[in-house]
Amino acid sequence: MTDNENRTDPELMEAEGAEQAPAEETEQAPKQLPTAIRALVRRCCQGFRPPENMTVSEWADKYRELSNEASAEPGKWRTSRTPYLKEIMDSWNDPNIRHIVVVAASQVGKSEALNNVIGYVIHQDPGSILLIEPTIDDAKKYSKLRIRPMFRDTEVLKKLVRDAKRTSNNTMLEKSYPGGMLIMCGSTEAHALASMPMRYVLGDERDRWAGSAGKEGNPWDLAMARQTTFYNAKSFECSTPTIKGASAIEDAFYTGTQERWCVQCPSCGEYHDIRWKDIRFEYETAENNGKRTYKATKVWHVCPECGYIAQEREIKTADAKWIAENPSAYETGTRSFWLNAFVSPWKGWLAIVQEFLEARDDQERLKVKYNTLFGELWEDRGDLETEDEMMARREPYRAELPDGVLVLTCGVDVQDDRLEYEVVGWGQRDESWGIRRGQLMGDPAFPETWEMLDDILNHVYRYEDGKGLRISITFVDDGGHKTQYTRTECAKRANRRVFDIKGYGGDGIPYTAPPNKVKIMINNRYVGSCYQYKLGVDSGKQAIMNALKVKSPGPQYCHFPLNEEAGYGHKFFVGLLSEHLVYDPKKKNKWHWEKIPGHERNEPLDCRNYALAALKALNPDMDAMLARRNGTVQNRQPAARKQQTATSRAQARRTMEQRAERMFDW
């Protein structure tokens, strides 16, 4: 009998268990190993999983959580709260688009749209991201107040981006995640902008960036160079606008589709964006310890198409969409968007107007409001007033001609499809009154168009007492494509002092000079001649801008009528203030006049310039005109002298008419 056979059952079972123990351990090991392998394989395969079929806005609606310290409405993100951001975010998913530009006021959600793009990239389409802020301090602040809370509160990002305390790969300005790294820097750091390749480049507050990254050049161009090797690279830049002509985000906007968020008018059905110039409001003023205070009481919007008056709620609930002014830019891969605070769900119109009223007496504060609330560029005109301020200067005239007017002149600008004109009244020491401004639609090649101008020139403009004046002299610019027709029509009207002019820019050119005869050629055939004045238009522009700076009625002050039918609306003042004097040492004429960006039409300035030049060419005796107007001129000439004077005038008039007839050979 063996030893095992002599053992009791418990002893036998214990011995057998001891002998079989290694076998059990061998059998248990394979049961644990597949679990570990499966976990390892699962982690390895995460990088091979295709992204979800969703756009940035859909990703934000599904995953994004807004943080307490970074949002006025913490909790689940809802694109429906800011519908204007949907198209901006989803353009990131368009394979044809490589570059997105957003010009926006404050408090419209542009920073959160940028954050949603970052979150989408990290979770769905990973690649290295370069986020550029104006300065390194701005980058640190953005990381602390916006990026870190987003990673902490958005669960899918929290799993991918570890906290800086847990790994040395993550710091305040560098965040690692599977498939890439988020690097944040300031626009002055050339080494950060020009080192390693980056698939995604994001630029925040572009208009506050440095002009150059050290000595390396434009920061945005340096950042774009880092995308060269990526066929699927994308860039996103956003900013509040700053100063016209010096705004990087404005320049970028005009390279793209130039889209604006347009609201449908409840009355006429036309779509238009809500702009400050179309906002009307009422307010109360009070004096407290010598300081004036304002209180906005009522705000409404006036449709620029039909004049319909709409309240804020009506506009914000109306149908709206993005409308592109330059849709062909889509083919070049750039979409650009422009937003202001009037569409924001967090900023009421009454609050916007109140902030404007509180800042209206301080130019620096007002500049901030134009940028951050109206989403508009500020024009740095020195001490020259803005269009809105010029409109506020309009005044009611008691009659068609105010009493101070002694002479009337007219300036006419010829376009391919119309004549634009302004009739200006002049008083002593160059005080002026805008009398009538308008457009005469029609081809200047046809006499019918000029006959409409005759109605303006032949009109008798009346004072309150019933007496009247006619236009003394008219200057018509023959520039453009209708030169010969313009000369022809001016020659026909020479007896009424309607003269052809030619403007020249540059230094050293006199404002006006005696006229010379120029040929009239129709179909390459000489048909006659007319008198032409050559103008140094730069001198006239400077004189006009100097006059517009005068604040009180008197010498050189410019009056404008409040009567809308006279034609002095917002478009007139935009055109009147359409140019400014700039210095360019590279040009022959270092000081020259340029159009201000956003002020494409300068016909009102030209017409005023020609009307002023006409006054200088006429050179009237204003004291004598005033005496005649007041009826204080005493005529004590002998009867024979009167007869001689009348005869001389009649002869002179006949001579002028004969000269005008001889200008044509037909």
Contacts of 255 (CB under 8 A, 6+ apart): 101, 329, 332, 334, 336
Same domain, 402 and 437: yes
Burial of 231 (0-12, 13-18, 19+ CB in 10 A): exposed
Interstrand relation of 320-324 and 259-264 (parallel, antiparallel or unpaired): antiparallel
Q: Tell me: the pLDDT tens digits for 79-135?
A: 999 999 999 999 999 999 999 999 999 989 999 999 999 999 999 999 999 999 999
Could you tell me the CATH number of the domain that includes residue 615? 3.30.420
- Is the pLDDT score of 544 beyond 70? yes
**Domain-ending residue, one of 253, 269, 292:** 253
Ramachandran region, residue 79 (left: φ > 0; alpha: ψ -120 to 50; beta: rest):
alpha
Q: For the residues 543-550, what does the mean pLDDT come to?
A: 88
- Is the pLDDT score of 666 beyond 80? no
H or E element at residue 117: helix 110-124
**Domain-ending residue, one of 226, 253, 280:** 253
pLDDT band at 51 (very low <50, low <70, confident <90, very high): confident
Q: Is residue 278 part of a domain?
A: yes
Same domain, 117 and 136: yes
Cβ atoms of 309 and 267 within 8 Å: the answer is no
At residue 462, the pLDDT reads: 94
Question: What are the φ/ψ torsions at residue 544 (nearest 5 degrees)?
Answer: -65, -45
Same domain, 71 and 181: yes
516-523, Cβ contacts within 8 angstroms, sequence gap of 24 or more? 518/487, 520/484, 520/487, 520/488, 520/491, 520/663, 520/664, 521/484, 522/484, 522/488
Contacts of 481 (CB under 8 A, 6+ apart): 416
Number of C-alpha atoms within 13 angstroms, CB side, residue 209?
Answer: 35
Q: Is residue 338 part of a domain?
A: no
Q: 85 lies in which domain range? A: 56-253
- What is d(CA 581, CA 273) in angstroms, rounded to the nearest whole number? 31
Same domain, 150 and 298: no
Q: For the residues 299-304, what does the mean pLDDT come to?
A: 94
Same domain, 60 and 193: yes
Short-list 620, 629, 597, CA closest to 463: 629
Residue of higher predicted confidence among 119 and 579: 119
Report how many domains make up the chain. Answer: 3
Q: Is residue 609 part of a domain?
A: yes
- What is d(CA 38, CA 42) in angstroms, rounded to the nearest whole number? 6
Q: What is the pTM of this model?
A: 0.58
Q: Is residue 116 part of a domain?
A: yes
Q: Is the dihedral of CA 613, 614, 618, 619 positive or negative?
A: negative
H or E element at residue 419: strand 418-426
At residue 78, the pLDDT reads: 96
Q: How many CB atoms lie within 10 A of CB 522?
A: 14
Q: For the residues 272-277, what does the mean pLDDT come to?
A: 92
- What is d(CA 437, CA 459) in angstroms, rounded to the nearest whole number? 14
User: Which two tokens mark 414?
Assistant: 């010829």
Same domain, 287 and 397: no
Q: Is residue 654 part of a domain?
A: no
Cβ atoms of 339 and 105 within 8 Å: the answer is yes
Give buried/exposed letters for 503-517 (b at 16+ CB in 10 A, else e).
beeeeeeebbeeeee
Same domain, 375 and 399: no
Q: Is residue 271 part of a domain?
A: yes
Give buried/exposed letters for 606-633 (b at 16+ CB in 10 A, else e).
bbbbbbbbbbbbeeeebeebeeebeeee
Could you tell me the CATH number of the domain that includes residue 224? 3.40.50.300
Q: Is residue 336 part of a domain?
A: no
Same domain, 148 and 186: yes
Residue of higher predicted confidence among 262 and 583: 262
- Is the pLDDT score of 2 beyond 50? no
Q: Tell me: the pLDDT tens digits for 479-535?
A: 778 899 999 999 999 999 999 999 988 877 889 989 999 999 988 888 899 999 999
**Domain-ending residue, one of 193, 219, 253:** 253
Same domain, 479 and 568: yes
Same domain, 440 and 588: yes
Where do runs of H (alpha helix) occur along 373-476?
A: 387-392, 447-457
- Is the pLDDT score of 604 beyond 50? yes
Short-list 102, 98, 91, CA closest to 334: 98
Same domain, 480 and 563: yes
Short-list 472, 479, 497, CA closest to 414: 479
User: How high is the mean pLDDT of the chain?
Assistant: 85
Same domain, 516 and 452: yes
Q: Is residue 124 part of a domain?
A: yes
Number of C-alpha atoms within 13 angstroms, CB side, residue 77?
Answer: 26
- What is d(CA 504, CA 537) in angstroms, rounded to the nearest whole number? 6
**Cα end-to-end distance, the chain, whole Å:** 152
- Is the pLDDT score of 22 beyond 70? no
- What is d(CA 629, CA 21) in angstroms, rounded to the nearest whole number? 129
Q: What share of the chain is helix, strand, coil (3-state, %, to 5)?
A: 40, 25, 35
